[in-house]
């Protein structure tokens, strides 16, 4: 056994871990960075980068099939080479991971340990035969796909977002269980690759955290592409049927029979096998590490960042966690999680960009509010591109004129929403947006127009 003492130990090399290791190292600290699987975590290896690379391929196939709509002729039918799609996706991932590994190796005061870290005490971590000690320990262990305990689930071969990345054949019929962000991105991309796709969701609508009009628009987008969606599904069960899988749901409904099943029913934190009890680190009922507004755990000298703390399940929130910890520790700059405005995107096509409160949340708050909305059919840029599904909506406090939230479902929605998000961080009134002069023709040029057409929220 080898025992070593460091100034800091960072457990997990996802989005926050390596960045924090770099800052600590640059500040003169000796750092141990521990990773049990792949450098880069979910985003680089099984999340953002590989899936968005595949979304890009799916979009190219979809646009090619619509070539005639734009007056473009093709010599034959549009085909999909899934092996090349996977190879392109793999290269994007491998290049990103290699760049991270090279950067980490360049840190002279950082030692990379590959293995499973477990606490022996509040300041002591074991990695294989190595015993590491430090006064500061940072958790960045991420999360993984939740596997629901449904009848027959252990009798079939199922896929998760991670194993989907290793799939080397195009499913004949992909059945997706779950109706939220991960599931819908996979559903649309594989439909565009040529698979038959069925989505089964137990809730009464898709993307339950969104407003009902957003959910309805997303459902319409998917059904327009030939994706079969079943909502309000209960009593979901699985069984083998020859070489296929039969998924039964809702009495009276015929089973969905497919070649592959993707489970996309949520995420759980990677905290159950870290020995947190030996360190005295508190977790909530779902297993997320309990942290305060500066990401300190219940044990002095231990912090938790990223998906394992339940404060955000996105790459950008994980990176912001690193910024908060580094600012407080190294820069004498008080930064807090509570300063963060919720913002994220759903990368179907067209994408959804979201920031701040939903309409439902605003109504629940009881405040007087205003709303402005415009369909993409009345957005010149969307019409010119032939992509008119979706709409834009802005929510405003009627008394303070503060922007409360925004949804942009349409072409470039994931980018356009930042026009509003930045104003929210600046605490600028909606009138600032209303008087801004945006570039024509663009989707975001209609945001000032919407800001001038606000009406009371009913």
Neighbours of 107 (CB within 10 A): 17
Residue 349 CA from chain centroid, whole number: 15
Burial string for 408-445 (b: 16+ CB within 10 Å, else e) reads bbbbbbbebbebbbebbeeeebbeebbeeebeeebbbb
Q: What residues have CB less than 8 Å from 85, skipping those under 6 apart?
A: 54, 57, 193
Task: With residue 124 as reference, give the H or E element that holds it.
Answer: strand 124-127
230 is catalytic: no
Long-range contacts of 152-159 (CB under 8 A, 24+ apart): 152/237, 152/238, 152/239, 153/238, 153/263, 155/238, 155/239, 155/240, 156/238, 156/239, 156/240, 156/245, 156/261, 157/245, 157/261, 158/238, 158/245, 158/261, 158/262, 158/263, 159/260, 159/261, 159/262, 159/263
CA torsion 339-19-290-276 (nearest 10°) is 180
Are the CB atoms for 121 and 224 separated by under 8 Å?
no
Are the CB atoms for 209 and 246 separated by under 8 Å?
no
Residue 374 token pair: 């415009």
Indicate if the alpha-carbon torsion angle 68, 351, 94, 163 is positive or negative.
negative
Distance CA 197, CA 364 (A): 36
Distance CA 439, CA 454 (A): 21
- Which residues sit opposite 119 in a β-bridge? 125
Are the CB atoms for 104 and 110 separated by under 8 Å?
yes
Distance CA 38, CA 70 (A): 43
Point out the catalytic residue in the list 62, 230, 260, 440.
Answer: 440
Whether the upstream peptide bond of residue 350 has omega within 30° of 0, thus cis, is yes
Whether the upstream peptide bond of residue 94 has omega within 30° of 0, thus cis, is no
As annotated, the active-site residues are 440
């Amino acid at each position: 056994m080898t025992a070593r003492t460091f100034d800091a130990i960072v457990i997990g090399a996802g989005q926050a871990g390596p960045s924090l290791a770099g800052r600590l190292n640059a500040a003169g600290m000796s750092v141990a960075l521990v990773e049990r699987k792949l450098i880069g975590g979910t985003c680089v290896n099984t999340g953002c980068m590989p899936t968005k690379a595949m979304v890009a391929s799916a979009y190219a196939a979809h646009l090619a099939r619509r070539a005639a709509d734009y007056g473009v002729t093709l010599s034959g039918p549009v085909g999909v080479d899934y092996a090349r799609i996977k190879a392109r996706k793999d290269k994007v991932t491998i290049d990103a991971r290699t760049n991270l590994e090279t950067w980490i190796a360049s840190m002279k005061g950082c030692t990379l340990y590959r293995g499973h870290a477990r606490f022996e005490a509040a300041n002591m971590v074991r990695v294989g035969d190595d015993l590491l000690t430090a006064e500061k320990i940072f958790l960045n262990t991420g999360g993984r796909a939740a596997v629901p305990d449904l009848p027959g689930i252990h009798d079939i071969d199922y896929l998760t977002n991670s194993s989907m990345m290793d799939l080397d054949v195009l499913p004949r019929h992909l059945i997706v269980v779950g109706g939220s962000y991960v599931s819908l991105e996979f559903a649309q991309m594989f439909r565009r690759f040529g698979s038959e796709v069925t989505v089964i969701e137990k809730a009464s609508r898709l993307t339950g955290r969104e407003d009902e009009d957003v959910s309805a628009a997303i459902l319409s987008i998917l059904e327009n592409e030939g994706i079969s969606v079943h909502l309000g599904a209960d009593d979901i069960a699985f069984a083998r049927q020859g070489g296929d899988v039969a998924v039964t749901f809702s009495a009276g409904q015929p089973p969905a029979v497919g070649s592959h099943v993707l489970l996309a029913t949520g995420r759980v934190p990677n905290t159950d096998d870290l020995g947190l009890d030996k360190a005295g680190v508190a977790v909530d009922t779902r297993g997320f590490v309990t942290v305060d507004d500066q990401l300190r755990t219940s044990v002095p000298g231990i912090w938790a960042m990223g998906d394992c703390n339940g404060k955000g399940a996105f790459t950008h929130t994980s990176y912001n966690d690193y910024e908060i910890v580094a600012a407080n520790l190294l820069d004498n700059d008080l930064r807090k999680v509570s300063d963060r405005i919720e913002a994220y995107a759903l990368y179907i096509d067209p994408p959804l960009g979201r920031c701040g409160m939903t309409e439902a949340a605003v109504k629940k708050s009881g405040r007087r509010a205003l709303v402005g909305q415009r369909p993409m059919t009345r957005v010149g840029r969307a019409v010119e591109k032939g992509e008119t599904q979706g709409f834009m909506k802005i929510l405003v406090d009627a008394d303070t004129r503060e922007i409360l939230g925004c949804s942009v479902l349409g072409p470039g929605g994931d980018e356009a929403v930042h026009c509003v998000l930045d104003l929210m961080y600046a605490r600028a009134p909606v009138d600032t947006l209303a008087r801004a002069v945006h570039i024509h023709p663009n989707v975001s040029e209609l945001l000032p127009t919407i800001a001038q057409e606000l009406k009371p929220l009913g």
